[in-house]
Amino acid sequence: MIRHTVAFRLRHPSGSTAERSFLTDAESLAAIPGVERFEQLDQVSSKNPYAFGFSMEFADQDAYEAYNAHPVHVAFVRDRWVPEVEDFLELDYVPLAG
């Protein structure tokens, strides 16, 4: 299992129509085959500069790579993410072997 997470800050004012539009359009990522447990998260800590987070899981590396290459993901990154995200931190995790 791979847990893909990204914390980010948008260029839009907090609470704006543009911010809501971005988050609504991001929901399309949840429908990409292989995406499990998609969540949009609102940052409540003052310990970092990011306002939002996305988290999702994939069964394996092949599912994650298929997601990255999927046309819906590619279009979202090109058309929304790149022009609208001011800063981000991407983290991909696998469970520690116990």
Is the Cβ–Cβ distance between 74 and 32 less than 8 Å? Answer: no
Q: What is the pTM of this model?
A: 0.92
Domains in the chain, please, with CATH? 2-93 (3.30.70.100)
Non-local CB neighbours of 98 within 8 Å, separated by 6+ positions: none
* Residue pLDDT, tens place only, 37-82: 999 999 999 999 999 999 999 999 999 999 999 999 999 999 999 9
Average model confidence (pLDDT) for the chain? 97
Tokens of 84: 């609208």
